[in-house]
Amino acid sequence: MTANLLNTLVGLWLAHTAIFPNALLGMSRDRLVLIAAVATIVLALWARRSDVSTWQSNTAVVTGVLLVILTVADQVTSISDVLMFWSLLWAGLVSATVSLWAALYRPPQAASAAD
């Protein structure tokens, strides 16, 4: 549950960074986004151990991997700012949403005992 809550915060930070890129106060956005993308992957893999179903952590891992690929590609070659904005925004929103869902979702005990 802790890993999912931390991943939710990282996802919200990614969305905030996409919307307000100048709020970083001169720090390298690409480097911080890359660190956040790797943190998303690590936290999702950590959360997978305690999740009821693993599709939420799998989704967070995929968004983290796609963001790592896009960020590295942006450092190697120039990628459109519009593509970076939407990719960063959606990666943050999707990982935050599924991580919060995984943190809060606990099926009733009676339903799991009946199965």
Q: Is the pLDDT of residue 60 over 70?
A: yes
Write down the pLDDT at residue 51: 80
| Residue 63 and residue 94 in contact, taking contact as beta carbons nearer than 8 Å | yes
Residues whose CB falls within 8 Å of the CB of residue 49, separated by 6 or more in sequence, listed in order: none
pTM of the model as a whole: 0.86
Element (H, E) at 16: helix 2-19
Q: Where are the domains of the chain?
A: 2-105
DSSP 77: S
- Render pLDDT for 65-112 as a digit per residue (tens, 0 to 9): 999 999 999 999 988 989 999 999 999 999 999 999 988 887 777 555
Write down the pLDDT at residue 26: 66
Q: Which is higher by pLDDT, 46 or 22?
A: 46
Neighbours of 81 (CB within 10 A): 10
Residues in the chain: 115
Write down the pLDDT at residue 77: 92
Neighbours of 52 (CB within 10 A): 10
Half-sphere exposure of 68 (CA within 13 A, CB side): 14
- Render pLDDT for 33-45 as a digit per residue (tens, 0 to 9): 999 999 999 999 9
Write down the pLDDT at residue 97: 95
Write down the pLDDT at residue 59: 94
Distance between CA atoms of 12 and 33, rounded to whole angstroms? 12
Q: Is the pLDDT of residue 27 over 80?
A: no
